[in-house]
Structure 1
């Protein structure tokens, strides 16, 4: 059993742990979209191994872990990753800082979709505080990008 065959799954599991790890209420508003960031990296780096199907199953796992209605996160993740996957060849050529802005846009799309789906299902109201994860995801992107690229190169994942 080689670790490199399961690296994408392992990094997604670690991202899910970071997504649900308890933090103080004041910091929870700023929690980045760990699963979205990690999925975004793998979709841009290895689109033949990480795709919308992986996003859908990761979203179902997030729905279970977070206790939301089944399909809410999976739909939002699938649409967000689809937009990213459709443009991955162009996005790969951007600098890491330009990619961070794109990740911010994708994260904003993700949160907008989550809001509208939850709005249809429940009686939630929109608060601008819900968009803080967009900024923290943008800020974390360069470091997550470099870390995952180092892992991918060391393990020679293709």
Structure 2
């Protein structure tokens, strides 16, 4: 049993664990979107293996783990991954810092869609703290990119 066959799933499972890991209240509002970052990397690197369907499935897992209404995160995640998959050839050619800005835009789209759907289903109101993960995801992207690229190359994931 070779680990390279499970590298994508293991990295996404690690992101799911990081997404639900308990943090102090002051730090929790800055938690990056780990699942979105990992799915974004794999979509840009291997769009034939990680696509909208995979994003929808792991979005459902995220809905279950976070206890939100089923389908909210999966819809938002699928929308973002669809946009990345449709433009992966262009986005691959950008530098890591330019990609970080695009990941920030995609993360803000993700959070705004999640907020919009939750606002339609429940009675929540927008506060600026909802967008702090956009900033942290943007700053963490270069390290996630380099770590997953190194893993992909060492394990020859194709």
TM-score (norm 2): 0.99
Distance 1:6 1:54 in 2: 14
Q: 2:9 — aligned with what? A: 9
* 2:66 equivalent to 1:66: yes
The answer to whether structure 1 residue 77 and structure 2 residue 77 are counterparts is yes
Tell me, in whole angstroms, the C-alpha distance in 2 between the residues paired with 1:122 and 1:83.
27
Task: State the partner residue of 1:144.
Answer: 144
The CA distance in 2 between the partners of 1:48 and 1:59, in whole Å, is 18
Give the CA deviation at 1:129. 1.0
Offset, 1:117: 0.3
Which residue of 2 is the match for residue 96 of structure 1? 96
CA RMSD of aligned residues (A): 0.4
Match in the other structure for 2:31: 31
* Post-superposition CA distance 1:102-126 (Å, at most 9, x none): 0000000000000000001000100
CA drift at 1:151: 0.2
Secondary structure, aligned partner of 1:148: helix
Instruction: Give the Cα separation in 1 of the matches to 2:82 and 2:23.
Output: 30
Question: How far off is 1:90 after superposition?
Answer: 0.2
TM-score by length of 1: 0.99
Aligned residue number for residue 46 of structure 2: 46
Equivalence for 1:20: 20
Q: Deviations over 1:70-91 (max 9, x none)?
A: 1010001000111111110000
- Structure 1 residue ranges, 4+ long, deviating more than 3 angstroms after superposition: none
| Equivalent-residue separation in structure 2 for 1:117 and 1:130 (angstroms) | 14
* Alignment size in residue pairs: 158
C-alpha distance after superposition, 1:123-146 (max 9, x if no partner): 010001110000000000000000
Q: How big is the shift at 1:2?
A: 1.1
CA distance in 1, matches of 2:142, 2:107: 15
**SS in structure 2 at match of 1:123:** coil
Match of 2:86 in 1: 86
The structural deviation recorded for 1:34 is 0.2
- Name 1:131's counterpart in structure 2: 131
